[in-house]
Every structure is written in C-alpha cells, then in structure tokens.
Amino acid sequence: MELQLKGKSVLVSGGSRGIGRAIVECFLAEGARVSFCARQEPGVRQAETAMGKGAWGSVVDVADPDQVKRWVQASAKEMDGIDIVIPNVSALAGGGDFGAWRKAFEIDILGSVSLVNAALPYLKQSRAASIVLISSVSGREIDCFAEPYGVLKAALTHYGKTLSARHASEKIRVNTVAPGNVYFQDGVWGFIEREDPVAFGRSMDANPMGRMATPAEVAMATVFLASPAASFITGTTLLVDGGLTKGVQF
C-alpha cells in the first residue's frame, strides 16, 4: 500500500527511544521528513546520528510550553511547514501522591496540548493534516497502571475525539492509538522483567498472543493512521494490544 508520505513534514515528541523512535524510523522509511524531540541531549544526538538524513533532533522539555513552541516554529521553518503531528510523551507516573498526579498531568496531557496548539496554525495550511495521539489500553481498562497514568491516558483519548470533531471542517484528522504491553529493553517492561520477573511473567501470561508488542508494530499502526492512506478515518481509537483488552468496541 502506498501511504503517500513522501516529502511530508512530521513532528514526533519523545522520539529518541522506544515507540517514538520506531515511529520516526517508520516515517523516514516512507520518505517523510521528521523533526523529533526528547529531553536528554545524548539520546537525541545518538538517535539523530543513527537515523541519518531526513531526521532532525532537538532537546525539548515538553512540560515547558515555550520550549515546545520554539521547537515547533523552528521545525516548520526547517521543513517548510508541518503536515503531521505525533504527541508521544508520558511521565509513566504511578502512585496516588499529588506529585505523581501533577507530573503526569503536565507531561501526558499538557505536553500533548502544547504541541497540538503550537502546530495547529501550520496544520491548517497543510493538505494532508493529521494528528495521532499515543494513549494506552490503561485508559480503557483498570490495570496495574490505573492512576494517574491510566486516568490521564483516558483523558487523552477524550481529547483526541474532541479535537477530531472541532477540526474536521478544517480537514485536520485526529486519531488515537492505544498500545497494550510494549516491550523494549530500556522500557518499562524491560525494567520490570529485570527487577520483578514474577510480575513480568504474570503480565506476559495475560497476553493472548503469548508475547508483548514491539515498538515497530505500534509505529506501523500510528503511521498508517497519520498517512493520507487513512484519509477518511478521524475520531477513532485504534487498539494495538494483541487481544489483551476484553471490552467490545462499538
């Protein structure tokens, strides 16, 4: 299938590792240009070097809306506009203390909102405008990541649906991807595997397909939804969970 992404200009936050990096690599493979950001300079530079031509990395704290705005403006100038935006950030915060809630809200919600708000003027000028938010199955079902992570991922899904309705007349599509368990060595499940193998084994057993997803599998779903090949899809949430969740989608 031709995704019609050659020459498109893409923004990806949290793009130096894991799902975000896989999304950047997938867009590059389809001929898009990608500006990505992350918080840590060494990770950004390593990823930028590894991904090569067509990828630009910036050090950005998404909890700072001024930094996000400057990054978006610089990216739009570098790539002559913006067609696609992928807010892919999470504090991965757990526990019920107020500090965890504040951190999760500032990064998971406001980090996405500030990116979307800064990019909207450019998306309105694009003929292939698309936003794909990265939520989680924890926003659909109560699990070990129930709060604040799951609560705010549910809010992020609601935000995506709201945006899709608000901007449909402007030809800006907005969708959400909800991954299940995604394994990579320096990710949360890699950490749990090393530190608590019993808990990891229970979680692995809960996956009907007998394994967790790879970042690339989430990336391919994300890139398809973002692409002009999905031109009549907006306001939807796509589960990429290998059958982990049990709820019926209507």
CA distance 13 to 6: 20
* Domain regions of the chain by residue span: 9-181+215-240
Burial of 149 (0-12, 13-18, 19+ CB in 10 A): buried
For residue 173, the SS3 value is: strand
Percent of the residues in the chain that have a pLDDT greater than 70, as a whole number: 100
Quick check: is 136 catalytic? yes
Residue whose tokens read 């000028």: 125
Across 71-85, average pLDDT: 98
Question: 3-state DSSP helix/strand/coil percent for the chain, to nearest 5?
Answer: 50, 15, 35
Quick check: is 90 catalytic? no
CA distance 44 to 67: 16
Q: What separation, in Å, do the N-terminal and C-terminal C-alpha atoms of the chain show?
A: 27
pLDDT of residue 38: 97
The catalytic position among 13, 112, 130, 136 is 136
CA distance 51 to 28: 8
Quick check: is 183 catalytic? no
**Is the per-residue pLDDT at 33 higher than 90?**
yes
The catalytic position among 8, 153, 164, 203 is 153
**Is the per-residue pLDDT at 99 higher than 80?**
yes
Residue whose tokens read 């935006």: 85
CA distance 213 to 131: 22
pLDDT of residue 250: 76
Across 88-116, average pLDDT: 92
The catalytic position among 135, 138, 203, 227 is 135
pLDDT band at 50 (very low <50, low <70, confident <90, very high): very high
**Least confident range of 161-165, 173-177, 198-202, 229-233:** 198-202
- To 5 degrees, how large is the angle CA 216–CA 113–CA 73? 85
For residue 195, the SS3 value is: helix
**Is the per-residue pLDDT at 78 higher than 80?**
yes
Q: Tell me the CB-side half-sphere exposure of residue 139, using CA atoms within 13 A.
A: 24
Question: What's the mean pLDDT when you consider all of the chain?
Answer: 95
Burial of 143 (0-12, 13-18, 19+ CB in 10 A): middle
Across 92-100, average pLDDT: 84
**Residues 219-249, buried b or exposed e (16+ Cβ, 10 A)?**
bbbbbbbbbbebeeebebbbbbbbebbeeee
pTM metric for this prediction:
0.96
Q: Which CATH superfamily hosts domain 9-181+215-240?
A: NAD(P)-binding Rossmann-like Domain (3.40.50.720)
**Is the per-residue pLDDT at 155 higher than 80?**
yes
Q: Sheet of 84-86: strands edge to edge?
A: 55-59, 33-38, 9-13, 84-86, 130-134, 173-179, 237-240
Across 210-237, average pLDDT: 98
The catalytic position among 16, 58, 114, 149 is 149
pLDDT band at 157 (very low <50, low <70, confident <90, very high): very high
Q: Which residues are CB-neighbours of 80 under 8 A, at least 6 positions away?
A: 9
Higher pLDDT, 203 or 96: 203
pLDDT of residue 52: 92
